[in-house]
Amino acid sequence: MLLLERFAKLLAWCRPGVLIVTHRNADVDAVAAAFTLNYVLRSYGEGVSDICVPEGVDLASKKILSALGFSVPKSGKCVGKRIVLIDVSTLAQVEDVEFSECSVVDHHVVNSVVEVCGLAVYDPKAGATSALIAEALMNLGFTVPRAYATLLLAGIMFDTRFLRIASSRLLRVVSWLLDVGGDLEEVSRLLTHQEIPYSERIAKLKSLSRMGIYVVGEDNILTMTCVGAYEASSLRVALDAGSDIAIAVAPREDSARVVIRVSSRLLQEFKTPVAAELARYLGENLGGSGGGHEAAAGVVIPLISIRSLEDAVFQFFRLRGYKVRALDRGRWMEECT
């Protein structure tokens, strides 16, 4: 059955009244699809429909809804005779929901709800549930107000990480959403500027301000820094800024956590699980224990060993035939000891 026919069937099925239910902590895709379906049912059908979001919507959705002038739906227990599950792949994602009949609109590759519900608008190749809804509306010759077009674009961009996963079919849907007034610039602004907590921003900036910069071999950049919290975010910043090996030291009461990240570039050059090997080496030589994966690893060492950490890291690479030199030692050591 064509998407168009299935969607038309869904609209008819919803006519006696329906509750539109998203997965818990609804993301932008789920919210956009639910809001638009609700709009379509209310403006083109004569039935009653409403939206229910178990445990509310996530932060990004909240931000986008209020920016586009929509009110954030109430969360709570969802009870309805007929419900449409939106962007839901398993019933565990909705938990506390009461209903006697269900239908589903979804795009997840694995979906166990499709067999449970009688009616399914389901396509694992759609890219996003928002794309499925938009494609059906486009094919039926419906239109949506600009705010809904922008919301649907946001859902698509969110799930496809700005079209990193895209097909010509999806691009046609995006093109239609732009034609009916969707604002891609606003979507990009709303989705990329995420609220990062003050404490995390400070931790990241501090980690940069005290960072030591070293060179391994010809042009592999190693950075070391000291942080009180948010080791993972600080390491991400270090990698984004160009580190091939990023090390963050986080001193605790009686020991220090050393977290290591390695770029894919360096992994290709070394052809060994560098992060895990370095963590193990540091553990063995500094009186701690460590391990992990090829690109991410960690080791816990005694506080006293922080002073020997730089030497031990140098030694690890020298044993593998690489020269190591300091470009700028920074002041991470002073901060950490």
Q: Contacts with Mn ion: how many residues (CB under 5 A)?
A: 4
Return the residue matching tokens 């509750």.
Answer: 19
Question: Is residue 106 a contact point for Mn ion (CB under 5 A)?
Answer: no
* Residue from 6, 18, 20, 29 in contact with Mn ion (CB under 5 A): 29
Single out the residue of 63, 89, 136, 159 in contact with Mn ion (rule: CB under 5 A): 159
Provide the terminal-to-terminal Cα distance of the chain, rounded to the nearest Å: 68
Only segment of 21-29, 171-179, 180-188, 325-333 that touches Mn ion (CB under 5 A)? 21-29
- The DSSP string of 110-141 is S-SHHHHSSEEEE-TTSSSHHHHHHHHHHHHT
| Closest approach of Mn ion to the CB of residue 129, in Å | 5
- Sketch the per residue contact string, 80 through 99, with Mn ion: x for CB under 5 A, - otherwise: -------x------------
Given a contact cutoff of 8 angstroms between Cβ atoms, the answer to whether 312 and 292 are in contact is no
User: Among residues 160 and 305, whose Cβ is nearest to Mn ion?
Assistant: 160
Nearer to Mn ion, 154 or 309 (CB): 154
| Nearest distance in Å: CB 54, Mn ion | 16
Task: Give the C-alpha separation, 325 to 329, whole Å.
Answer: 10
Number of residues that this document lists for the chain? 337
Minimum distance from residue 133 beta carbon to Mn ion (Å): 11
Find the part of the chain contacting Mn ion (CB under 5 A) among 95-103, 154-162, 246-254, 298-306.
Answer: 154-162
| Binding range to Mn ion, per CB under 5 A, among 118-126, 157-165, 236-244, 328-336 | 157-165
The backbone region for 95, taken as left when phi is positive above 0, alpha when psi lies in -120 to 50, beta otherwise, is: left
Does residue 200 contact residue 215 with C-beta atoms inside 8 Å? no
Residues 6+ apart with CB under 8 A from 88: 21, 22, 23, 30, 94, 104, 106, 113
Which residues contact Mn ion (rule: CB under 5 A)?
29, 87, 129, 159
